[in-house]
């Protein structure tokens, strides 16, 4: 009890308000309820009341509340009505734009070419941006909410377009006029992933070091140092740093006030003011709080952005531990900083990305000096076009160096984390920090042990034996797992043409799957294998089995797979489909790909058990599921992988399945379906 009381006293003295700020921010993020945000300014006020210059905070809070009122009272748009509007391009991405009409910002996806600050008159209609159907895939609607965008403008006709003559547009046009280096310049200076730089961008994501690029604000400190050094050489007066910051904030303006760059710029500006004006009573934690308020005043929806959570949590931790580490030598300090950042951020990474990168510390230490030099050279030569050839060399080195580092990259997919487990972990970290002097080694062991328990609890939440048919539209991916033996087998790994190439990868990460023993490719139509490359890149893959693979039986833990049919060279590729009899414990599953009726009839002479589960062939098409074949196997549960418009699913197929007493389940573009197998001869079908 004394130990707990001591913790609470320390918390009350220094950290209680920060804890409450974090709790309300967390609730706002999870519940996506704006009202949870309102107590934060008043909690921040109580922090500042202990020091001077509190009138600054009062002004910020007042402006912030006015800003909230304006946002809450902003008028909605008329949906699904073709209308002419005038909008301005405020951000340019890869195939999409953010546009501004009046005080509101909208999302525009189009193949038309616009430039920053262009004024456009066009016809179109507004629609609500739809949330992702699958819980595990990238949720564009949620990401756009973090940008303050909830509506999409669907362009139908452009009536007029006027190029901007503003300074920002002129500078961007000049920088992006270099066709040979446009991809690298877009990535390094503006954080935009173009097709030409997508490979390097993805490598940084896989290495867990994407924070070293513009999207984290990492480069702002370096940019300020370069600009301030130049300004101090040219101008010699007390407030030269203000001129430097004016240039820095103009660069942030070029970035359309990118969240991370804005946070970094505001914090650095306030911190520099504190040092230059000798504000001894203003602590770094006060500056951190004021930065949080200013960012949210300028971007009220930022708390919905995962980058907001990462940035402020990690920056606060660095502020808190700085005094304790200042006596260490540089290399040891860098190492401990990165270890502490990993300890604090791994659970956030697992919560948002379902993965932990164990080598990101090492890669960050190795690459940070080179990235700093890259930015240093890039800033220095940006307006000297003859020297832009250096960009090609920098891109080449970064790309190949990243490729080498991927060879030692170690990533563990944790699966989806419960939010309250995250809070429990941070509660333990706070207790560990407050009592660091009592029993350091015991606390560190406790934190590590608790981390392992969290991952174990997460893993135990899923069933032992299961088969999941993913919601991939008119494509097919089936995931079969034996959890206790750590066995996972995929039957087909495709999605409907036009859907995300990451869909299967995202599901496997969400489930915490790291090792895939085998992938069966039923046949070579794109909708049955077009996600294979992402699976090979992101998971440890044992073998790929298709209709040309030697052998007819494989066993992985309690999972057995017997090939009943394989043909090579048939004119109709569907006829080449593998037909596999799978066994999970004592259950029998029949996986049929897109097999045709003619091939089904050829299997009537085979000795087959009663089938507990059937993957209905060819998405329920009338070219498959012959009634004679169904009567022979008498399936109990039938899964159909189809899209929302049922373009392929035939009434005849449904009638045949119903006649043999099979319980039908469809993905129909809306849900994933999963059957769980238990040892007592019972099954359970769920959808999500």
pLDDT tens per residue across span 148-184: 888 999 999 999 999 888 787 888 778 777 778 888 8
| Maximum C-alpha span of the chain | 95
Let me know the angle formed at the C-alpha of 425 by 423 and 428, rounded to the nearest 5 degrees: 110
CB atoms inside a 10 Å sphere around CB 336:
14
Number of residues assigned to the chain: 688
CA dihedral 85, 87, 92, 98 (to 10 degrees): -70
* Interatomic CA distance for residues 241 and 249, integer angstroms: 12
In 515-668, alpha helices (H): 532-538, 597-602, 627-633, 651-659
Q: What is the DSSP string of 261-321?
A: HHHHHHHHHHHHHHHHTT-TT--HHHHHHHHHHHHHHH-GGGGGSHHHHHHHHHHHHHHHH
User: For residue 137, what are the contacts with CB-CB under 8 A and spacing of at least 6?
Assistant: 500, 502, 503, 506, 507
Instruction: Indicate whether 346 and 485 sit together in one domain.
Output: no
Mean pLDDT of 27-48: 54
| Three-state DSSP class for residue 685 | strand
**Residue 442, pLDDT above cutoff 70:** no
Q: Domain total for the chain?
A: 5
The pLDDT value recorded for residue 16 is 52
- CA-to-CA dists, residue 100 to 64, 69, 105, 609, angstroms: 21, 19, 4, 63
Region class of 32: left (phi > 0), else alpha (psi between -120 and 50), else beta: left
In a domain? residue 179:
no
Mean pLDDT of 258-281: 84
The pLDDT value recorded for residue 497 is 87
What tokens were used for 156? Answer: 């139908």
Most confident of 283-287, 487-491, 644-648: 487-491
- The more confident residue out of 514 and 37 is 514
Mean pLDDT of 635-659: 88
In a domain? residue 173:
no
| Three-state DSSP class for residue 578 | coil
In a domain? residue 175:
no
Mean pLDDT of 586-601: 93
Mean pLDDT of 213-241: 79
CB atoms inside a 10 Å sphere around CB 668:
17
39, 73, 107 - which closes a domain? 73
pLDDT band at 241 (very low <50, low <70, confident <90, very high): confident
User: What global pTM score does this model have?
Assistant: 0.82
**Residue 683, pLDDT above cutoff 80:** yes
Mean pLDDT of 130-156: 87
pLDDT band at 12 (very low <50, low <70, confident <90, very high): very low
The pLDDT value recorded for residue 350 is 86
In a domain? residue 178:
no
CB atoms inside a 10 Å sphere around CB 384:
9
* Interatomic CA distance for residues 376 and 374, integer angstroms: 5
The pLDDT value recorded for residue 57 is 52
**Among 4-18, 158-172, 480-494, where is mean pLDDT lowest?**
4-18
* Interatomic CA distance for residues 99 and 111, integer angstroms: 15
Q: What is the mean pLDDT of the chain?
A: 82
Mean pLDDT of 397-410: 90
* Interatomic CA distance for residues 196 and 168, integer angstroms: 24
Instruction: Indicate whether 540 and 436 sit together in one domain.
Output: no
Residues paired with 356 in a beta bridge: 412
Does residue 460 contact residue 353 with C-beta atoms inside 8 Å?
A: no
Mean pLDDT of 402-431: 83
* Interatomic CA distance for residues 91 and 100, integer angstroms: 9
In a domain? residue 222:
yes
Instruction: Indicate whether 436 and 488 sit together in one domain.
Output: no
Instruction: Indicate whether 647 and 506 sit together in one domain.
Output: yes
Most confident of 230-239, 306-315, 396-405: 396-405
* Interatomic CA distance for residues 149 and 107, integer angstroms: 7
The pLDDT value recorded for residue 462 is 66
Instruction: Indicate whether 636 and 534 sit together in one domain.
Output: yes
Q: What is the DSSP string of 219-271?
A: HHHHHHHHHHHHHHHH--STTHHHHHHHHHHHHHHHTTS-HHHHHHHHHHHHH
User: Which residue's entry shows tokens 């005038």?
Assistant: 86
* Interatomic CA distance for residues 594 and 616, integer angstroms: 8
**Phi then psi for 553, rounded to 5 degrees?**
-145, 135
| Three-state DSSP class for residue 582 | strand
In a domain? residue 176:
no
Mean pLDDT of 512-519: 94
Instruction: Indicate whether 383 and 338 sit together in one domain.
Output: yes
Domain that holds residue 109: 83-164
Instruction: Indicate whether 582 and 652 sit together in one domain.
Output: yes
Mean pLDDT of 618-635: 92
- The more confident residue out of 675 and 301 is 675
Does residue 244 contact residue 225 with C-beta atoms inside 8 Å?
A: no
Residues paired with 520 in a beta bridge: 491, 545
**Residue 232, pLDDT above cutoff 60:** yes
Instruction: Indicate whether 44 and 93 sit together in one domain.
Output: no
Most confident of 15-29, 116-130, 189-203, 312-326: 116-130
Instruction: Indicate whether 437 and 507 sit together in one domain.
Output: no
In a domain? residue 170:
no
Q: What is the DSSP string of 21-90?
A: HHHHHHHHHHH--GGGGTHHHHHHHHHHTTSS-HHHHHHHHHHHHHHHHHHHTPPP--BT--EEEEEEEE
38, 73, 108 - which closes a domain? 73
Instruction: Indicate whether 548 and 512 sit together in one domain.
Output: yes
**Residue 113, pLDDT above cutoff 80:** yes
Let me know the angle formed at the C-alpha of 27 by 21 and 28, rounded to the nearest 5 degrees: 90
The pLDDT value recorded for residue 326 is 75
In a domain? residue 172:
no
Share of the chain above pLDDT 70, in %: 83
Instruction: Indicate whether 511 and 611 sit together in one domain.
Output: yes
Q: Per-residue pLDDT tens for 353-380?
A: 899 898 888 888 888 888 888 888 888 8
Alpha carbon 308 to its chain centroid, in Å, reads 13
Does residue 342 contact residue 360 with C-beta atoms inside 8 Å?
A: yes
| Three-state DSSP class for residue 390 | helix
Among residues 570, 81, 61, 601, the alpha carbon closest in space to that of 294 is found at 61
The pLDDT value recorded for residue 638 is 94
pLDDT band at 454 (very low <50, low <70, confident <90, very high): low
Q: What is the DSSP string of 436-465?
A: TTT-HHHHHHHHHHHHHHHHHHHHHTS-SE
| Three-state DSSP class for residue 165 | coil
Does residue 281 contact residue 274 with C-beta atoms inside 8 Å?
A: no
User: Which residue's entry shows tokens 């909008």?
Assistant: 87
Let me know the angle formed at the C-alpha of 256 by 251 and 260, rounded to the nearest 5 degrees: 80
The pLDDT value recorded for residue 14 is 46
* Interatomic CA distance for residues 472 and 500, integer angstroms: 9
Mean pLDDT of 653-678: 92
The pLDDT value recorded for residue 495 is 93
Looking at residue 543, which CATH number applies to its domain?
3.60.15.10
Does residue 528 contact residue 521 with C-beta atoms inside 8 Å?
A: yes
**Among 86-95, 105-114, 286-295, 544-553, where is mean pLDDT lowest?**
286-295
pLDDT band at 8 (very low <50, low <70, confident <90, very high): very low
pLDDT band at 459 (very low <50, low <70, confident <90, very high): low
Instruction: Indicate whether 522 and 482 sit together in one domain.
Output: yes
């Amino acid at each position: 009890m004394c130990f707990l009381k001591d913790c609470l006293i320390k918390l009350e003295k220094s950290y209680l308000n920060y804890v409450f700020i974090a709790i309300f921010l967390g609730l706002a993020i999870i519940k996506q309820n704006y009202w949870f945000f309102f107590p934060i300014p008043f909690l921040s006020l109580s922090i500042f009341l202990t020091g001077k210059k509190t009138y600054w905070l009062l002004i910020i809070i007042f402006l912030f509340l006015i800003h909230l009122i304006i946002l809450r009272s902003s008028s909605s748009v008329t949906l699904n009505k073709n209308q002419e509007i005038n909008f301005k391009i405020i951000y340019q991405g890869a195939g999409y734009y953010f546009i501004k009409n009046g005080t509101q910002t909208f999302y525009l996806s189009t193949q038309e070419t616009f430039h920053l600050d262009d004024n456009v008159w066009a016809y179109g209609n507004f629609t609500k941006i739809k949330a992702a159907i699958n819980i595990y895939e990238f949720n564009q609607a949620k990401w756009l909410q973090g940008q303050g965008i909830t509506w999409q403008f669907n362009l139908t006709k452009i009536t007029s377009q006027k190029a901007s003559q503003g300074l920002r547009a002129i500078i961007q046009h000049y920088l992006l006029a270099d066709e040979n280096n446009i991809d690298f310049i877009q990535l390094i200076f503006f954080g935009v992933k173009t097709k030409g730089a997508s490979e390097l961008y993805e490598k940084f994501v896989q290495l867990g070091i994407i924070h070293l690029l513009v999207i984290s604000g990492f480069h702002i400190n370096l940019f300020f140092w370069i600009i301030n050094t130049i300004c101090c050489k040219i101008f010699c007066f007390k407030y030269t740093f203000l001129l430097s910051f004016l240039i820095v904030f103009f660069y942030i303006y070029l970035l359309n006030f990118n969240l991370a760059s804005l946070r970094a710029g505001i914090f650095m500006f306030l911190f520099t003011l504190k040092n230059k004006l000798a504000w001894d009573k203003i602590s770094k934690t006060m500056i951190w709080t004021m930065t949080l308020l200013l960012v949210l005043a300028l971007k009220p929806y930022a708390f919905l952005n995962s980058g907001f959570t990462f940035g402020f949590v990690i920056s606060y931790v660095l502020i808190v531990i700085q005094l304790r580490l200042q006596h260490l030598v540089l290399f040891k300090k860098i190492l401990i900083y990165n270890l502490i950042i990993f300890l604090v951020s791994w659970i956030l990474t697992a919560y948002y990305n379902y993965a932990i990168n164990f080598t990101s510390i090492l890669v960050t230490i190795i690459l940070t000096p080179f990235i700093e030099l890259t930015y240093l050279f890039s800033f220095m030569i940006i307006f000297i076009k003859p020297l832009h050839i250096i960009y090609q060399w920098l891109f080449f080195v970064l790309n190949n160096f990243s490729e080498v580092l991927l060879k030692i990259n170690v990533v563990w997919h944790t699966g989806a984390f419960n939010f309250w487990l995250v809070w429990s972990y941070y509660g333990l970290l706070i207790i560990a920090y407050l009592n660091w002097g009592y029993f350091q080694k015991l606390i560190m062991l406790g934190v590590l042990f608790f981390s392992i328990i969290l991952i174990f609890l997460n893993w135990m939440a899923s069933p032992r034996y299961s088969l999941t048919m993913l919601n991939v539209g008119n494509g097919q991916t089936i995931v079969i797992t034996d959890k206790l033996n750590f066995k996972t087998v995929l039957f087909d790994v495709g999605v409907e043409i036009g859907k995300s190439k990451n869909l299967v990868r995202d599901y496997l990460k969400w489930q915490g799957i790291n090792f895939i023993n085998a992938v069966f490719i039923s046949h070579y139509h794109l909708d049955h294998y077009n996600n294979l490359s992402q699976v090979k890149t992101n998971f440890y893959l044992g073998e790929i089995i298709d209709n040309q693979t030697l052998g007819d039986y494989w066993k992985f833990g309690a999972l057995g797979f017997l090939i009943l049919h394989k043909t090579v060279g048939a004119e109709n590729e569907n006829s080449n489909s593998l037909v596999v009899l799978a066994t999970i414990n004592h259950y029998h599953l029949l996986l049929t790909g897109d097999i045709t009726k003619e091939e089904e009839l050829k299997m009537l002479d085979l000795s087959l058990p009663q089938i507990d589960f059937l993957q209905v062939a060819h998405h329920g098409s009338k070219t498959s599921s012959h009634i004679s074949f169904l009567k022979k196997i008498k399936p109990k549960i039938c899964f159909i992988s189809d899209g929302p418009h049922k373009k392929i699913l035939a009434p005849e197929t449904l009638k045949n399945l119903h006649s043999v007493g099979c319980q039908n389940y469809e993905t129909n573009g809306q849900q994933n379906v999963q059957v769980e197998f238990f040892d007592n001869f019972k099954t359970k079908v769920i959808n999500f």
